[in-house]
């Protein structure tokens, strides 16, 4: 069996001080680095794959960014965040990006929550990459538990992978919605570790 670890959107704009910050984001970044640096994790995972929101700078990204003076509804529209090649779009400094084998960019002109909606910088889709690597199992961590971690883990489960989520390596938008996300994942058959 070939096992991958997904790091979902551990970016400056989703951590404290960012435009769409989650409390605990910086700590989640540090916890992921510590975990992946352990002998246990090095023995467990064949590949580490990280996603980033990578939105266009000069448009509303298909309505994903609130614009024209309209306030974001925080359901379908959001403050400007994680613009490609911006400081907000960079990985948080607490995340050691030397641990990452493959980078997935998502958004790029349209709303995107799941890592499965992205591709590598050279255009390879995530399903094609996972197939090429022979991945069968995936552990998921990152930001935010109740949005992009949820969407990514559900898509991995639907695609037939054996999926686990590690909540202690995640940060969410809110405690209540994060707990609901974990319950939804469990109900779908995702393992919570």
Give residue 141's domain range.
2-55+84-192
Peptide bond preceding 144: is omega within 30 degrees of 0, i.e. cis? Answer: yes
Residue 45 lies in a domain: yes
The edge-to-edge listing of strands for the beta sheet with 47-54 is 102-107, 47-54, 2-8, 135-143, 162-171, 191-192
135 in a domain, yes or no?
A: yes
Identify whether 139 is a catalytic site residue. Answer: no
CB 125 within 8 A of CB 51: no
Does any domain span residue 68?
A: no
- Residue 70: per-residue pLDDT: 83
Per-residue pLDDT tens digits of the chain, which is 193 residues long: 899 999 999 999 999 999 999 999 999 999 999 999 999 999 999 999 999 999 999 888 888 898 778 888 888 888 889 999 999 999 999 999 999 999 999 998 898 999 999 999 999 999 999 999 999 999 999 999 999 999 999 999 999 999 999 999 999 999 999 999 999 999 999 999 9
Question: Domain containing 103 — which CATH number?
Answer: 3.40.50.850
73 within domain boundaries: no
**Total of domains in the chain:** 1
Assigned domain for 74 exists: no
* pLDDT for position 58: 85
The per-residue pLDDT for 5 is 98
Work out the angle at residue 160's Cα, subtended by the Cα atoms of residues 38 and 14, and round it to the nearest 5 degrees: 50
- Residues sharing a CB contact under 8 Å with residue 30, sequence separation 6 or more, in sequence order: 94, 95
Q: State the catalytic residue, choosing from 9, 13, 53, 155.
A: 9
Q: Copy the structure tokens of residue 17.
A: 């001080």
- Active-site annotation holds for 148: yes
Residue 175 lies in a domain: yes
Backbone region of residue 62 per phi and psi (left: phi > 0; alpha: psi in -120 to 50; beta: other values): left
pLDDT at residue 124 in the model: 98
Residue with tokens 């552990």: 139
Strand (E) or helix (H) holding 2: strand 2-8
Catalytic residue from among 106, 139, 146, 170 = 106
Is 82 catalytic? The answer is no
Q: What is the pLDDT of residue 67?
A: 79
Indicate which residue of 15, 148, 155, 170 is catalytic: 148
**Could you give the CA distance from residue 37 to residue 27 in angstroms, rounded to a whole number?**
15
Q: Is residue 129 part of a domain?
A: yes
- Residue 169 is predicted with a pLDDT of 98
19 phi/psi in degrees, rounded to 5: -75, -20
Considering Cα of 25, then 122, then 78, then 183, what sign does the dihedral take? negative
Does residue 39 fall inside a structural domain?
A: yes
90 CB burial (10 A radius; 0-12, 13-18, 19+): middle
């Amino acid at each position: 069996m070939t096992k991958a670890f997904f790091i979902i959107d551990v970016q400056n704009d989703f951590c404290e001080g960012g435009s769409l910050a989650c409390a605990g984001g910086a700590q989640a970044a540090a916890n992921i680095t510590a975990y992946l640096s352990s002998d246990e994790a090095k023995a467990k995972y064949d590949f580490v794959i990280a996603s980033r929101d990578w939105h266009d700078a000069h448009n509303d990204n298909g309505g994903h960014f609130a614009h024209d003076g309209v306030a974001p509804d925080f359901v379908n529209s959001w403050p400007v965040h994680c613009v490609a090649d911006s400081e907000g779009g960079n990985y948080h400094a607490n995340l050691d990006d030397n641990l990452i084998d493959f980078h997935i960019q998502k958004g790029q002109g349209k709303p995107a929550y799941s890592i499965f909606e992205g591709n590598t910088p050279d255009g390879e889709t995530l399903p094609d990459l996972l197939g090429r690597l022979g991945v069968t199992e995936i552990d998921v961590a990152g930001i935010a538990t109740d949005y992009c971690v949820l969407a990514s883990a559900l898509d991995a489960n639907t695609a037939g992978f054996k999926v686990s989520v590690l909540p202690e390596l995640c940060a969410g938008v809110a405690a209540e919605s994060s707990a609901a996300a974990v319950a939804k994942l469990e109900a779908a058959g995702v393992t919570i570790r």
